[in-house]
Structure 1
């Protein structure tokens, strides 16, 4: 049997609302020289029934065993391909050549990683649309804070062997790997015409959970130390920026929600950053607090992506 050039890793949990679209999009790609590895972390809906209609290597783990960095490293160990592609179970390819364009980036030997463009879902609210417009431009380069983004991304397995996904904190495993690559002169390419649909309309609880673990992770990635002054400054700047955008979009009802959302967004990051700082100073390698914060605020019934 010929070894596939590419291994696609898809993580899922209770994704039956979208995974059929994600898989149909993947298996409709012009590039077909891939194997699929699906890691399910305790689905209780019809996700596994859908997955089993497609050829794949299915790995099932318990929900409590789901730590992103550890799960990705385990899945890559099983992968046969030289290029490892990551596609979230809620990321739907919007064109048949997305995978082909992403993989083609590696024809350049200097490229060690690549990530595609994410377009928000039709139901995405105004602030989500704005964030995606900035983070994933139609052309040119992605902003510097997007070092890698796993809803659609790829890396060389040989480079992963030099630096595996980190497990110091629960979140931002893609950001940490991309930052390491950049700091070690490994080129990562933004492929704007490798397109998937992916976004979330997070409520305030979900925003808190996501930003908490991101604040914790940034201590380990950037040695970033937050304080109340920075929180206040970011709150004011982001609130003004969002307000102006909503005015231009004539979204006055949504505009009323901006202060509460931006306060939670910044405060959760600050609280997570404080936990990360304390853990790092004490040499505490227990990442379970971040996991529990996410599950408490995001909900344990579905995939956290």
Structure 2
């Protein structure tokens, strides 16, 4: 019997977790395949844990102070018994009942060591520009012999052997999937894209959260691909191209007026976050990392309704970051 471990990491994900788990449990699998569900929770205060337990999840816990994206996944993998490890965001819902079989098939066949599936947005929820990002990176054709190490852990799978040989980096502030993929490729492994293993990725982000996500990922990108630079000229070039292309597509769909302002705002936050991350040279202290991953609301004193003119780095992270997993 082959065991597939589906690993979620979560913080207050009650809104979509139930739908995601139902879709996982409804998968059509070969008779010799069984599924175990694992959730790594980092301090949820809503019904996340109860929902997970109702659907048969084995729940592991990690404290907020110890949380990193890579560490939480390593905890889940350590607790899993599966031959194949599947990673899916708690706000991603498989699009079909054959999602899982498609995702792990190249692993079982020995064609790939690490696979990732397609992503689409949810109409009425996903920013128009993010839907264009999904369409750009997750096409309709699979590529099991892709060059490089691009992948995305919102919807991915790896053999236990490939994960165990390298494990997720527990210090990076994002892109832990690509850090692992780079190590796998460097050791002679193969990353593959499986178009038919698609999920609906529901990012209910504010624009500030979008900025923080791209900032966080750029911090890591500059380390794993130091040859790639993103200067102010690149920011202006990408911003102009992104906005222009999105507006043209919105006009083609007769949705120009509906999305125009959001397109401009989203693309600005995306590329400004990328620019700042690539050109930020500080290192986060442990205290700052906690603020970074777990921002708390900055409360203003009644007698001081305006922001102070100066902030240290930790305060900046407080004020800017409202990131989620």
TM-score range, shorter chain: 0.7 to 0.9
How many angstroms apart in 2 are the aligned matches of 1:288 and 1:225?
Answer: 28
Q: 2:3 aligns with which of 5, 15, 33?
A: 5
Which runs of no fewer than 5 residues in structure 1 stay unpaired? 280-284
How many angstroms apart in 2 are the aligned matches of 1:278 and 1:14?
Answer: 30
Going from structure 1 to structure 2, the CA distance change for 1:90 and 1:201 (only over 3 Å counts) comes to closer
How many angstroms apart in 2 are the aligned matches of 1:214 and 1:228?
Answer: 18
Q: 1:173 aligns with which of 165, 173, 176?
A: 176
| Superposed displacement of residue 287, structure 1 | 6.4
1:214 corresponding residue in structure 2:
217
Q: 1:263 aligns with which of 268, 293, 297?
A: 268
Question: SS of the counterpart of 1:189?
Answer: strand
Question: SS of the counterpart of 1:34?
Answer: strand
1:8-19 counterparts in 2 under 5 A?
8-19=6-17
Going from structure 1 to structure 2, the CA distance change for 1:152 and 1:298 (only over 3 Å counts) comes to same
| Superposed displacement of residue 23, structure 1 | 0.8
Q: What is the CA deviation profile of residues 205-224 of structure 1, one whole-angstrom value per residue up to 9, with x for unaligned ones?
A: 11111111011111221114
Matched, 1:132 2:131: no
Whether the 8 Å CA contact 1:212–1:290 is kept in 2: the answer is no
Question: SS of the counterpart of 2:141?
Answer: coil
How many angstroms apart in 2 are the aligned matches of 1:289 and 1:67?
Answer: 13
How many angstroms apart in 2 are the aligned matches of 1:55 and 1:257?
Answer: 40
How many angstroms apart in 2 are the aligned matches of 1:151 and 1:70?
Answer: 16
Q: What is the CA deviation profile of residues 27-78 of structure 1, one whole-angstrom value per residue up to 9, with x for unaligned ones?
A: 1112251222111111111111211112232112223332101111122122
Which runs of no fewer than 5 residues in structure 2 stay unpaired? 296-317
Larger Rg: 2
| Superposed displacement of residue 278, structure 1 | 4.3
How many angstroms apart in 2 are the aligned matches of 1:207 and 1:238?
Answer: 15
Q: Normalized against structure 2, the TM-score is what?
A: 0.82
1:34 corresponding residue in structure 2:
35
| Superposed displacement of residue 185, structure 1 | 3.1
Q: Which is worse superposed, 35-44 or 56-65?
A: 56-65
Q: What is the CA deviation profile of residues 195-250 of structure 1, one whole-angstrom value per residue up to 9, with x for unaligned ones?
A: 22113243321111111101111122111443222222222222222222222122
